[in-house]
Structure 1
């Protein structure tokens, strides 16, 4: 039995979490200790609908059938009775791919699927006491997306016709032909046969190749490739078939356009340049020298380049002996710079797409696929810049790299700046907060304290899928950027991370009430 004082301390969380100032101690989340710990490692459907294996179908159905207002409480009860983290994560992904159509764009309501891995990454990186919170948020978010899909026609993934599957030895060629001709029906049966016969690594490489070939859906195709594969790495490849069917369907989206295989369309221009350029790359392209000057040169080029220009400039650097890392640093800095120029949905996706493409670059096994990802990532930066022009005003500022007098001053002032104060400033003045974060990091303060605080604020304040997608991407990518540039990159995230004065999302309160 719980001691009355212990219950009182748990209930005090509700009051403290709603306070104007932020306290980022583990004690605030102590009530989560009632849930089983999560280790870092770990109604009838239509007869035509795809069915999942017996081990997961009941949990998926429970998620599908539970009303949104009861989903937190229902799954809290399941978790308390022994349902595991992986089972809940699998149900989230599978319910999404069965119930939410990745059309007319691989975005919008489909973020219920795209955000599953982002929530998982946030969970993995959080203290053990907090790891259920992103999953509870994703459960609630799925229900909102499911409702929207029902309003738009109530799409459900159908069962595949097994009689139409190409034989295993022809699956790869059949899939390539279907993807090249943008044939949805042929791709659907081919990916099932490929999933049943090829290795996960080979399948990922193929999907990464096609996921990066066009800019439609502002990068969401590459994002889905990376996020689907990463989630399957946790829940198990045995659940891959419906996920890969959904993924192939998403990659072939070209809503409102003629067939790209027979048309010369703008979103495919950079891909054509990439394919023409690849034969020019030397076999030693991976073994060049790291050169910060080359990074800054490419950063400047990407500010005004066309997508095709970006491909050409990147290929020239690789051919001249510049290491991929120096190019990658420029891509990260470019995405960070755009955040300050126009904080919003387009520039957010420049960061999340770069995160996805760089994950794929590190994971793909064929040199050609990795080259494609690098060149296409460079091409997407100008595509994003073009998309910015159709929205709000684009500021003329460039990313603060920490070398100016003002940055030196910020660094000097940072000795008296706490993490709490930094995130208070985020709510008040994002430009000032970015400069203060750079000063804090350049002063030698531990980045982990800032990263942990940012993640916890997403748990407390995040309302939209993009809060999870963006934060999981940039907080992970801090360590992928070279030391010379990583502080500037992370500081730019202040333009879109939640601040401590932002309104609470109410999630923590709902979870607390469900488990006490």
Structure 2
């Protein structure tokens, strides 16, 4: 398939600030439109098909080369967006083991929410593309799991479930003791008896306690919960069992309950510092100068020092948002300094932890999430040092040759992304500072992920950073989004073949 001519593509997205369906994607009109309402959890979610098993089995048993064709036929015959999304998530948690790391092949589970977010943000006509990509990606991960032992989630031991009134305490004891078997039955009982909000808050507490798997634990907590908000909490039990299992991953290490290990060091400091914050911690003032000061501190701080600096700011009446801004900017800066897997995860982990911070309801959990998010920045910086050269780039410095008039158009910017990412970031900053609409950048970037993205990280990163543009304070948004050019796809990158696969499947 020929990619749409760049000039026409960027004329379309630039003129309106919204990605419109292109002529080359007209074949998607043969599928039912996914409305914005359908991609959200409706009040009638309990009326989902009572038996999702056949659809999950279809996904599990269909060969990869046939999966898009089979699911296109299912969709054309009436299978809904939520049902396909549910099948994706449930097939993943049943067939993909979060071992030896909560990553690698397990991205087939982690990326479901990222594909969903991309779908929700896309025009109605394009919403199936990320889902078809995720179906194909699951089959690759499933094959890898088979090669690594063909793990399958076992049925829960019903005889060992704690009573509902003991479920919360039993789960805490199991998680604090890093006891996989006890956590499995406890989370099952908790899922059957507690509210979704209570369960999410508790899982957020444990999802941010350690740096193992470079942030994937926190990512899984947020992504699992967000996907369940669309497909319905009735599917939560196997997902939460998988999640509890993932959170207890300490592969290759002794039991953290009995040892003081490096990935848990910041958590111990966070727990000590929580009591020093009074009830006014969340009522401070926004202060850009303090944000930049913390950004500078996080460039050289240890995890412990990052926690202490954040606590001090809160105690001095600085708003949590000013701390969050420094964390977002740190992630953006690391992306420019060493565009790669570690910096990418600093952004996706921050997206997850900030979502959890905004969503958790216990005051203590929210403080933990904010402080741990700050502590993770030095962890990521240390991981980057083990990966090689780190460029001398500061996100708060004014780049040379910025086009202050914003005359560089989107076509040129995304063409430059494919050839010179540093220059593309400079061009994008000039475009945004010159009044270019950020929505046009976001929509163009998202469409290019559909056309060019080959890896789960293309979806994870783009969904996170494009969403977080609006979570950053206005004074820092442009710099944050511009640095995303270091990892976003460019218009001259090779086509991923997804559009061709879907078009062929639809005949």
Partner SS for 2:400: helix
SS in 1 for 2:178: coil
Whether 1:502 and 2:479 are equivalent positions in the alignment is no
2:400 — aligned with what? 406
| Structure 1 position 411, deviation (Å) | 1.9
Give the match's secondary structure for 1:334.
helix
- Structure 1: distance between partners of 2:90 and 2:31: 23
Deviations 1:207-243 (A, max 9, x none): 0000000000000000000000000000000000000
Pick from 158, 161, 164 the counterpart of residue 162 of structure 1. 158
Aligned-partner SS, 1:411: coil
- Cα distance in structure 2, aligned partners of 1:301 and 1:221: 26
Q: Distance in 2 between the 1:514 and 1:434 partners? A: 37
Q: Secondary structure in 1 aligned to 2:454? A: coil
- Pairwise CA distance, 1:22: 7.1
Distance 1:102 1:405 in 2: 41
- The structural deviation recorded for 1:53 is 8.6
Contact preservation (8 Å) 1:22, 1:500: no
| Structure 2 counterpart of 1:7 | none
User: How far apart are 1:15 and its partner, in Å?
Assistant: 2.7
Report what 1:453 is aligned to. 444
Aligned with 1:276 (options 269, 272, 275): 272
Alignment partner of 1:80 out of 59, 76, 82:
76
Contact 2:3 2:495 in 1 (8 A): no
Task: Point out where structure 2 has 5 or more consecutive residues left out of the alignment.
Answer: 13-20, 39-47
**Please, which runs of 5 or more residues in structure 1 have no aligned partner?**
1-13, 43-51
Find out whether 1:172 has 2:200 as its counterpart: no
Asked if 1 retains the 8 angstrom alpha-carbon contact of 2:399 and 2:426, the reply is: no
Displacement of 1:355 in angstroms is: 0.1
**Among residues 386, 391, 394, which one is paired with 2:387 in the alignment?**
391
CA apart distance, 1:23: 2.2
The DSSP-based 3-state class of the residue aligned with 1:392 is: coil
Match of 2:433 among 419, 424, 442: 442
Aligned-partner Cα distance in 2 for 1:41–1:273: 44
SS of aligned partner of 1:285? coil
RMSD between superposed Cα atoms in Å: 1.3
Which residue is 1:364 aligned to? 360
Q: 1:473 to 1:37 in 2, by over 3 A?
A: same
Please say if 1:125 is aligned against 2:118.
no
Match of 1:479 among 451, 470, 492: 470
Q: Distance in 2 between matches of 1:490 and 1:191?
A: 38
Tell me the alpha carbon deviations over residues 139-169 of structure 1, each in whole angstroms, 9 at most, x when there is no partner. 0000000000000000000000111100000
The count of aligned residue pairs is: 488
For 1:175-254, list aligned pairs within 5 A: 175-254=171-250
1:452-477 per-position Cα deviation (integer Å, ceiling 9, x unaligned): 00000000000000000000000000
Distance 2:262 2:8 in 1: 47
Aligned to 1:373: 369
- Compared with structure 1, are the counterparts of its residues 108 and 21 closer, same or farther at alpha carbon in structure 2 (3 Å cutoff)? farther
- Checking the alignment, whether the CA contact within 8 Å between 1:22 and 1:420 is kept in structure 2 is no
Q: Of 104, 109, 112, which aligns to 2:108?
A: 112
> Greater shift after overlay, 20-29 or 130-139?
20-29
TM-score if structure 2 supplies the norm length?
A: 0.95
Residue 137 of structure 1 corresponds to which residue in structure 2?
A: 133
After superposition, what is the alpha-carbon deviation per residue over 1:27-85, rounded to whole angstroms, capped at 9, x for unaligned?
2322111110111222xxxxxxxxx9952000000000000000000000100110000
Residue 419 (structure 1) aligns with: 410
1:371-396 C-alpha deviation (Å, 9 max, x unpaired) = 00000000000000000011120111
* Residue aligned with 1:422, SS: helix
Q: Does 1:299 align with 2:292?
A: no
Partners of 1:268 and 1:377 lie apart in 2 by: 13
1:303-314 aligned within 5 A: 303-314=299-310
Are the counterparts in 2 of residues 212 and 373 from structure 1 also a CA contact under 8 Å? yes
Matches of 1:286 and 1:201 in 2, distance apart?
A: 20
Q: Matched residues in 2 for 1:406 and 1:256: separation?
A: 46
Give 1:23's aligned residue.
9
CA distance in 2, matches of 1:269, 1:15: 52
Three-state SS of the structure 2 residue aligned to 1:221 is: helix
- In structure 2, relative to structure 1, the CA distance for the partners of 1:319 and 1:33 (3 Å cut) is same
| Alpha-carbon distance in 1 for matches of 2:165, 2:212 | 32
**Residue 405 of structure 1, CA deviation:** 7.2
Once residues 460 and 411 of structure 1 are traced to their aligned partners in structure 2, the CA distance between those partners, rounded to angstroms, is: 30
Change (3 A) 1:261 1:488: same
